[in-house]
């Protein structure tokens, strides 16, 4: 199974998580904390690094079944540039391919929750632990799904 790493999509998911929390954060005096929590345009590199850190942690956790395929751009015979994104390639014999969408969803969820937890550590510490725990649960679910084999089918003669 391959999971394609969509940095732009993962960034957007992370931004949505942070924005949702920023929108409901108020101090004891009732003042909004939005401006101190929200991800600004200049903060994009920090969030992308947090996404990369989350991917690295997943690769480390699944090093027995995961390899990283670097992304690249190639030119086809007509001169059109074709982008091949980086991917995580999971070598899981007897993997139930019906679970591919579930695994991809859990991996994306893990990465965006982990990046949000990293962001919250410096900008909204009261939410950092909650998001770290949620990201860990998503990673655990993804690994469990990856290592769940297809139910054997009995062959009748």
Q: Is residue 136 part of a domain?
A: yes
Whether 106 is covered by a domain: the verdict is: yes
pTM of the model: 0.89
The C-alpha angle 50, 51, 52, rounded to 5 degrees, equals 90
Look at residue 31 and tell me if it is in a domain: yes
> Does residue 80 lie within any of the structural domains?
yes
How many domains does one find in the chain?
1
Contact by Cβ (8 Å): 146, 61: no
What is the model's pLDDT at position 61? 97
Cα 124–Cα 111–Cα 92 angle in degrees, nearest 5: 155
Residue 96 sits in which domain range?
2-146
Q: Is 157 within the bounds of a domain?
A: no
Mean pLDDT across the stretch 120-128?
A: 97
91-99 CB contacts, 8 Å cutoff, 24+ apart: 91/65, 91/66, 91/67, 92/1, 92/65, 92/146, 92/147, 93/149, 94/149, 94/150, 95/1, 95/146, 95/148, 95/149, 95/150, 96/148, 96/149, 96/150, 96/151, 97/1, 97/150, 99/145, 99/148
pLDDT digits (tens, 9 = 90+) for 73-112: 888 888 888 887 899 999 998 898 899 999 999 999 999 9
DSSP state of 32: B
| Residue 152 domain flag | no
Across the chain, what does the average pLDDT equal?
93
126-140 residue pLDDT tens: 999 999 999 999 999
Whether pLDDT at 152 is above 70 = no
pLDDT > 80? residue 151: no
Percent of the chain with pLDDT over 90: 79
Residue 156 lies in a domain: no
């Amino acid at each position: 199974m391959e999971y394609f790493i969509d940095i732009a999509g993962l960034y957007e998911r992370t931004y949505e998580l942070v924005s949702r929390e920023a929108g409901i954060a108020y101090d004891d005096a009732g003042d909004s904390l939005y401006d101190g929590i929200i991800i600004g345009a200049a903060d994009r590199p920090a969030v992308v690094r947090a996404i990369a850190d989350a991917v690295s942690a997943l690769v480390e956790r699944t090093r027995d079944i995961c390899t990283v395929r670097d992304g690249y751009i190639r030119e086809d015979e007509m001169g059109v540039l074709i982008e091949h994104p980086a991917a995580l390639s999971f070598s899981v014999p007897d993997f139930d391919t019906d679970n591919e969408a579930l695994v991809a969803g859990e991996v994306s969820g893990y990465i965006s929750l982990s990046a949000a937890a990293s962001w919250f550590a410096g900008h909204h510490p009261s939410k950092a632990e909650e998001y770290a725990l949620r990201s860990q649960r998503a990673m655990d679910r993804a690994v469990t799904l990856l290592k769940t084999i297809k139910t054997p089918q009995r062959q009748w003669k």
